[in-house]
Structure 1
Amino acid sequence: MSEIKIDLNNLNKSNWKTYRFDEIAKNISERVDPNNTDLKIYIGLEHIDSESLHIKRQGTPDDVNGQKLKFYKNDIIFGRRRAYQRKAGIATWDGFCSAHALVLRANPEVIDPELFPFFMHSDLFMNRAIDISVGSLSPTINWGTLKHQEFMIPPKDQYEKLAHLLWTAEGSIENLRQTHVELCQYKECLNKKHFEAYRKSPNRVGMYTSKVGSGVTPKGGSKVYQESGVQFIRSQNVLLGSFDMSDVAYISEEIHEKMSSSKVLNNDVLLNITGASIGRSAIYKSGESANVNQHVCILRTIEEELDPLFLSEFINSAFGQKQIPIITSWR
């Protein structure tokens, strides 16, 4: 096929048309009783990954009770509850799904079914879905509201090109994801082989660190958090080998100085020591001033004796994770 060129930054939308959502897609509302069906595949919202077109997990009828929704191959299963999680996956078989989803089927007279999954994952659609959700604890979309929402759709000569371009890009992304998975598996094998040698080692981390200790919650708790200032790292910010600072808290320089014993320095290994995320660790390399709360432990190595990267990799390895009860007793 000849190369398709589309300037996504300067799309000509002069001939795009506006349609209601119920003109773009059909809501499939066939009901299924899990205790009385020949269908073998159940898809719950927990089986759909955020921001992914592909459904890679599944359940069985034995997993659930109560009325569910039937879907057919190539339908879109869209999580109408907590739409901010951006869950919309393509069914690759017939089955049934959670009633907290909508089963949607593209209208080929309006939009190419190949383009429809990308439309569903667009910021335009997802942001609208979030805006029309109702409820505070579990915001949910009602079909009666969604069907009246209007969106601009390109003509056939454009949406076919867009679909081809986007699926080509999606194929490249999936290949990269698979390569990443395989590299992680290879890395884990290497780590297991290497770290196995330390199973009976008499060495303890305290022999190679200048500091092992956690922080505290500042007086006043979250009420003293600020919009900016010194980063206050909590357990949700520490992942396996990296940090998620999207919701990092901030404290004042004054509080930071009062909590001087838990100041974070570059190359400190931060380790979660309580809760569901216990055992996750990462090396701090930001260079910005930071502090930690009582759920995060600082491991400051004597770098001539122990490389902090080695320590963090050890802790995050499968072998290291089995040692977490011992590691958290080193304090």
Structure 2
Amino acid sequence: METLLCETLSIDKTTWTPVKFGEVVFEPKESTKDPITDGIEHVVGLEHIESEDIHLRNSATIEEATTFTKSFSKGDVLFGRRRAYLKKAAQAFFSGICSGDITVFRAKENLLPELLPFVVQNEKFFDYAIKHSAGGLSPRVKFKDLANYEFLLPPKDQQAKLAELLWAMDEVVERENVILDKNINLRKSQLKETYFTIPIKHRSEKVILEKLIKLSSGKTRPKDLRDKPIDNYVYPVYGGNGIIGYSKDYLIEYDTIVLGRVGEYCGVVHDTSGKIWVSDNALYVKEYLGSFDKYYLSRFLEYIDLNKQQNKSSHPLITQSKVCSNSIPMLSKELMRKQNLKLKGIEELILNLKSKISSSKALQKSLINQVF
């Protein structure tokens, strides 16, 4: 991919034509009053489009209640016109209906449909969309404003070559994602083997967690908080969803396990090291009652999915007593060591794959931005 990127630095654009977006793309005004009769199977809302992902991977079924009537066809690009800063624009590989907060783009004859998603999925286009959005808490941008966005359009024969190159790069990223998914599923299977299959096979003893650990709630996060480490702001601040910033102060100074305790992050597990602050949206292991393998405990807390154990009130949360009421299987030290090594090996591979995918996406984005 590095070779491909270098080749793009010498692209000759002297024959490319300055055009406005509306000259090569239009917004189809198609709709349906009876989606079931019309055979519609896919319903797409903004939540189904992932930020900075060129593929439309998700949709709801028509059986689910919906008031959407706007139609789109296979090959169209669905652009999230509400909160354009979320950078949601994906090409559909199926037909369906979508939210009114989505603008449907369709290529005209002078633009190859295969190239359209790359024209849209670039920083210049998103910056333009953000700049021309109107509204307060939920800004939206209209197609008539996007139609004035200007860029250079290559001749049709070059469009085909560029589309082939860009989709080839995308295929590399997709292959890497497939391998990543396989290893993520392998890790899930390994967790099940460690905490379910093996304990049953060996009839392992179970110990209630309240005999092994003491939990504590975090404290309201410091007033002084920064997004990134800078000067004295070096201590990570953990919330339910992980690191939410950095502060001058720390709450604890030892390696521990942090658990999200409120809302959608109930039960999310984070391994920490060194001095940190834990917000009041999280719990943490304050004390280990005797010698115990922290890694084995951390993966067990992940495996039992504490999110399913939250209370069912309007303000869902997980309590210390609920967490500590779970019982953990006690494997022999040797068996525990072997299972830990297997899990760590898979996790290291997953981290390497994520790093590789991140690099591939950065190269892909750089190329798209250079071309358009």
TM over 0.5: yes
Distance of 1:142 and 1:319 partners within structure 2: 43
**What amino acid sits opposite 2:90 in the alignment?**
G
Distance 1:317 1:202, change over 3 A: closer
Counterpart-to-counterpart distance in 1, 2:160 and 2:56: 24
> Are 1:133 and 2:133 an aligned pair?
yes
1:33 is aligned to 33
2:79 equivalent to 1:78: yes
Could you say if the C-alpha distance between residues 153 and 236 of structure 1 is closer, same or farther in structure 2, counting changes exceeding 3 Å? farther
Residue matched to 2:51 = 50
Give CA deviations for 1:304-324 in whole Å, capped at 9, x if unaligned: 933322222211225665567
The alpha-carbon distance between structure 1 residues 35 and 16, as it changes in their structure 2 partners (threshold 3 A), is closer
Q: Distance in 1 between matches of 2:6 and 2:161?
A: 8
RMSD in angstroms over aligned alpha carbons? 3.2
* SS of equivalent to 2:216: strand
CA distance in 2 between counterparts of 1:174 and 1:232 reads 33
Determine the structure 2 residue equivalent to 1:242: none
- 8 Å Cα contact 1:235-1:296 kept in structure 2: yes
Q: Distance in 1 between matches of 2:97 and 2:298?
A: 43
- Higher-RCO chain (CA-CA 8 Å, sequence separation at least 6): 2
Tell me which residue corresponds to 2:245. 249
Alpha-carbon contact 1:84-1:130 (below 8 Å) kept: yes
- Which letter does structure 2 place at the counterpart of 1:136? G
The residue type paired with residue 246 of structure 2 is: Y
**Is 2:258 aligned against 1:263?**
no
Is contact 1:16–1:154 with CA below 8 Å preserved after alignment?
Answer: yes
Cα pair 1:35 1:65 within 8 Å, conserved: no
Superimposed CA distance per residue, residues 222-267 of structure 1 (whole angstroms, 9 cap, x where no aligned partner): 4x435641445242542xxxxxx4xx333334xx4xxxxx3243x3
Going from structure 1 to structure 2, the CA distance change for 1:94 and 1:308 (only over 3 Å counts) comes to: same
Superposed CA deviations along residues 42-74 of structure 1, whole A, max 9, x for unmatched, are 222222222222223323444345462221221
Q: Is the 8 A contact 2:217 2:283 kept in 1?
A: yes
After superposition, the Cα gap between the structure-2 partners of 1:225 and 1:59, relative to the gap in structure 1 and judged at 3 Å, is closer
Q: Say if 1:39 and 1:96, in contact at 8 Å, map to a contact too.
A: no
1:131-179 CA-to-partner distances (Å, cap 9, x unmatched) read 2111122111111211112122333444333211221121122222222
Structure with the bigger percentage of helix: 2
Contact 2:32 2:70 in 1 (8 A): yes
Question: For residues 93-152 of structure 1, what are the alpha-carbon distances to aligned partners after superposition, in whole Å with 9 as ceiling and x for unaligned?
Answer: 33222121111112241x332121122111121222122111122111111211112122
Structure 2 gaps of 5+ residues are 312-317, 325-372
- Structure 1: which 5+ runs fail to align? 239-244, 257-261
Alignment check: 8 A CA contact 2:49 2:90 kept: yes
Task: Work out the percentage of aligned pairs sharing the same amino acid.
Answer: 28
**Greater mean alpha carbon deviation, residues 157-166 or residues 77-86:** 157-166
Asked if the contact 1:77/1:90 (under 8 Å) is kept, the reply is yes
